[in-house]
Amino acid sequence: MDEIKPHLIVGLGNPGPAYAFTRHNIGFMVVDRLVRKCELASCGQRDDAVLHSGRIADIPVVAARPMTYMNRSGGPVGDIVRTHGIQFEDMVVIHDDIDLAYERLKIKEKGGDGGHNGLRSLIDALGTDDFVRVRMGVGRPEADIGVVDYVLGEFDASQRSTLEPFLSRAIEAARAILCEGAKEAMNRFNRKP
Residue 24 bears catalytic tag: yes
> Does 117 appear as a known binding residue?
yes
Average of per-residue pLDDT values in the chain: 93
Number of independent structural domains in the chain = 1
If pLDDT is split at 50, 70 and 90, which confidence band does 193 have? low
Distance (Å, whole) CA 118 – CA 124: 10
Choosing from 7, 24, 84, 116, which is the catalytic residue?
A: 24
In a domain, 112, yes or no: yes
HSE-up (13 A, CA, CB side) for residue 87: 6
In a domain, 166, yes or no: yes
In a domain, 1, yes or no: no
In a domain, 176, yes or no: yes
In a domain, 2, yes or no: no
Instruction: Output the pTM of the full model.
Output: 0.94
CATH number of the CATH domain containing 173: 3.40.50.1470
76-79: list long-range contacts, CB under 8 Å, 24+ apart: 76/46, 76/48, 76/49, 77/8, 77/10, 77/49, 77/122, 77/125, 77/126, 78/122, 78/125, 78/126, 79/48, 79/49
In a domain, 183, yes or no: yes
> Does 69 appear as a known binding residue?
yes
pLDDT 10s digits, 28-87: 999 999 999 999 999 877 889 999 999 999 999 999 999 999 999 999 999 999 999 999
Helix (H, G, I), strand (E, B) or coil at 100: coil
pLDDT 10s digits, 146-163: 888 999 999 999 999 999
- Domain carrying residue 25: 7-189
